[in-house]
Chains A and B, each alone.
Chain A
Amino acid sequence: MANGAALEQNTSALWGGGRQPFGASYGKMMMWFFLLSDALTFSGFLTAMGLYRFKYEETWPVAEDVFTHFPLLHGEHPLLFVALMTFILILSSVTMVLAVNAGHKNNHNGVVLWMGLTIIGGFMFLGSQAWEWSHFISGDKGAIQLKDNTVVYLTKVGSEGEILSVYELVTGEEKPHGDHTEFSTGDVVSAFGLNTDVTLRYPGKAETTMPRAEAVKAFESAKVIQGANLRENEYGNVLFADFFFFVTGFHGTHVFSGVVLNIIVFINVLMGTYKQRGHYEMVEKVGLYWHFVDLVWVFVFTFFYLV
């Protein structure tokens, strides 16, 4: 009993206010709890995507076939651009740690330098994401949507499933880089009728090619789609596009608000607010948020682009 009483006294001394039972200030602790809840939100989105991916396994696009472009480079370069985006975000995370580190040493100029670089990294990432989105929205080769909303690609008979662009089917020439001509369904249907060596193939892992006769039949009441939005997606199942916009968009919103918070704290640093306060813990708090954004991207990268 004596022990219990002693313990009670200690507890009230520890938790009764005026102390930090976790060794972390109120603000830092609350940032951690917010990030904890945000991590659960993101895992909800990613696992929901997993649910539909498992459900529509056959028509789910393979990400390497979707995101194949790199600025100023011709041809197909899967994964390269997202790898660059990951690199930018990791690097801006490093500059953020360096800013926090400089803050611990009350090194004012160090904090200014590293926070400034972190903000630049944030803008570079946002710009890359805008580029990625615009390419996804405007699309690449185009596809055909069948009556039951299945999306299929054009392919030549016996070409082992290599995708033929809508542009090439209609004009007979290879699609130039960055071309965004929109073709009407009527044009594509008549071109398909003329090119008797062209058939249809299902996207995703199955990659089954239809016999020409079946393809001609399927082409009745078909519709041409170029690019992706919330209602149609030339790369396969439309839910892939929905989750792409939603998950990367939600992450992008986090990056954007992270940049805004970083700018606010950066201005405070410049004005000497934290120098006067005697510590740079505010830099540490926004730093936590910024690292979290990087952490989420690590998972988005894996579950959207790699797996």
Chain B
Amino acid sequence: MSEHNTSPSEHHDGPEGTAWIWKVFWILLAVTTVEVVLGIIKPEILLNPFLGTTLLNVIFIVLTIAKAYYIVAEFMHLGHERKNFIWTITLPIVILIPYLTFILLSEGGYMNVLMNQ
């Protein structure tokens, strides 16, 4: 009993060396730079309505999720864990957060409509 509480996790071979760490760093930095530049110049062409918001906002959200993927899969090493563990952690997130977001944002829009009547 005490043994499995103190023994370390089995080792999952990730890539060797530290080059992969810096690679992920440059990816995160590049994505952040793109976000900041787009946020400052706000290109007119990206401000057209798209999926209930603007194309620019959709780009921001997609880039954010890409960053989140790299942090979780590489820095937190989840991508190299066992499959059952990966799904145990990601499924609740993938199901619950979009659900909550959908409910609250659509209700917020409805409250706005009611308020302005």
B100 lies within 8 A of A43 (CB): yes
Instruction: For the complex, give the distance between the alpha carbons of A48 and B21 in Å.
Output: 35
Q: Within residues 10 to 62 of chain B, which ones have a CB less than 8 A from any CB in chain A?
A: 10-12, 18, 21-22, 24-25, 28-29, 32-33, 35-36, 39-40, 53, 57, 60-61
Interface segment out of the listed A22-30, A139-147, A174-182, A224-232? A22-30
A-B contact pairs, 13 of them (CB 8 A): A20-B10, A21-B84, A23-B82, A47-B97, A47-B104, A51-B108, A54-B105, A57-B112, A93-B75, A284-B9, A294-B71, A298-B64, A305-B39
Instruction: For the complex, give the distance between the alpha carbons of A19 and B100 in Å.
Output: 36
Q: Which of B1, B4, B61, B96 contacts A302 (CB 8 A)?
A: B61
B39 lies within 8 A of A306 (CB): yes
Q: Which residues of A contact B (CB under 8 A)?
A: 17-29, 32-33, 36, 39-40, 43-44, 47-48, 50-57, 64, 78-80, 83, 86-87, 90-91, 93-94, 96-98, 100-101, 104, 279, 281, 284, 287-288, 291-292, 294-295, 298-299, 301-302, 305-307
B29 lies within 8 A of A302 (CB): no
Q: Which residues of B contact A (CB under 8 A)?
A: 1, 3-12, 18, 21-22, 24-25, 28-29, 32-33, 35-36, 39-40, 53, 57, 60-61, 64, 67-68, 71-72, 74-77, 81-82, 84-85, 88-89, 92-93, 96-97, 100-101, 104-105, 107-109, 111-112, 115
- When C-beta atoms are compared, the residue in chain A nearest to B74 turns out to be A97
- When C-beta atoms are compared, the residue in chain B nearest to A91 turns out to be B25
Known: A57-B112, A79-B39, A302-B35. A281 touches B71 (CB 8 A): no
How many A-B pairs have beta carbons closer than 8 Å: the answer is 159
Residues of A within 8 A of B32 (CB): 83, 86-87, 90
Instruction: For the complex, give the distance between the alpha carbons of A173 and B36 in Å.
Output: 33
Known: A21-B84, A299-B64. A94 touches B105 (CB 8 A): no
